[in-house]
Chain A
Amino acid sequence: SQQGEEDPQALSIQEGENATMNCSYKTSINNLQWYRQNSGRGLVHLILIRSNEREKHSGRLRVTLDTSKKSSSLLITASRAADTASYFCATDAGGSGGSNYKLTFGKGTLLTVNP
């Protein structure tokens, strides 16, 4: 598997439900970032969590980071149809002495929120 690999590949839920997406990575990191991409559009930065942080909140988003398991999760609470998009996690490799700017993306989780 590649650095920054999301799971599941696709997720379909009803409006109002919570959505949880996971990301696993291989090397030590400085930080992990989550992005959203609507179909055919650019990436929107959602949240950055540093390697010394365990949890971070932003509005309806909650991100956790477990560096011992090299994994992160993104929780979207009370989902809306407008949350329908692909969600990507991106990691740098700065924590292992590598670059702290070269982000590695997974293939993303396609979230569909049905009204």
Chain B
Amino acid sequence: NAGVMQNPRHLVRRRGQEARLRCSPMKGHSHVYWYRQLPEEGLKFMVYLQKENIIDESGMPKERFSAEFPKEGPSILRIQQVVRGDSAAYFCASSSGGPRAQYFGPGTRLLVL
């Protein structure tokens, strides 16, 4: 009964490098959400995806950030040319859709040096 899986759990990048974060939703869930949490803050919505579709990316910065959820494989959140301000915990959640409970993964903690 695996929950939402995220990897890596910790990621260190130097400024200008790319960060690639992966999320495998809970079994039976086809809806994936990415959130970002800055220190001492609550989570902020970034993007909502279903298989092969981006439904809502209104919380994601227009530049350098992209997300995908291919037909096969995990959802990927990609951050190009990282800057120090990208340092945060990135959480993925999944659900069976609609106004239902979202179940969160353990998060990826990104540190940009």
Which range holds the interface residue count of chain A? Answer: 20 to 34
Interface residue A42 (Cβ < 8 Å from any Cβ of B): yes
Query: Which of chain B's residues have a CB closer than 8 A to the CB of A31?
Result: 99
Q: Is the CB of A92 within 8 A of B48?
A: no
Query: Which of chain B's residues have a CB closer than 8 A to the CB of A92?
Result: 99
Query: Which of chain A's residues have a CB closer than 8 A to the CB of B93?
Result: 43
Q: Is the CB of B99 within 8 A of A42?
A: no
Q: Is the CB of A103 within 8 A of B99?
A: no
Give the CA-CA distance A50 to B84 in the complex, in Å.
Answer: 39
Interface residue A99 (Cβ < 8 Å from any Cβ of B): yes
Q: A42-B107, A43-B104 are in contact. Are A101 and B43 (CB under 8 A)?
A: no
Interface residue B65 (Cβ < 8 Å from any Cβ of A): no
Q: Is the CB of A43 within 8 A of B99?
A: no
Give the CA-CA distance A90 to B91 in the complex, in Å.
Answer: 14
Q: Is the CB of B48 within 8 A of A42?
A: no
**Residue in contact with A88 in the complex, picked from B43, B48, B98, B100, CB distance below 8 Å:** B43
Give the CA-CA distance A41 to B95 in the complex, in Å.
Answer: 20
Q: A42-B91, A42-B107 are in contact. Are A102 and B42 (CB under 8 A)?
A: no
Q: A33-B101, A42-B105, A43-B104 are in contact. Are A88 and B91 (CB under 8 A)?
A: no
Query: Which of chain B's residues have a CB closer than 8 A to the CB of A100?
Result: 98-99
* Contact bitstring A26-51, B, C-beta under 8 A = 1, else 0: 00001101010000111111001010
Distance of A74 from chain B, by nearest CB (Å): 15
Q: A101-B48, A102-B45, A104-B45 are in contact. Are A30 and B104 (CB under 8 A)?
A: no
A residues contacting B by CB (< 8 A) are 4, 30-31, 33, 35, 40-45, 48, 50, 88, 90, 92, 94, 99-108
B residues contacting A by CB (< 8 A) are 6, 31, 33, 35, 40-45, 48, 55-56, 58-59, 91, 93, 95, 97-107, 109
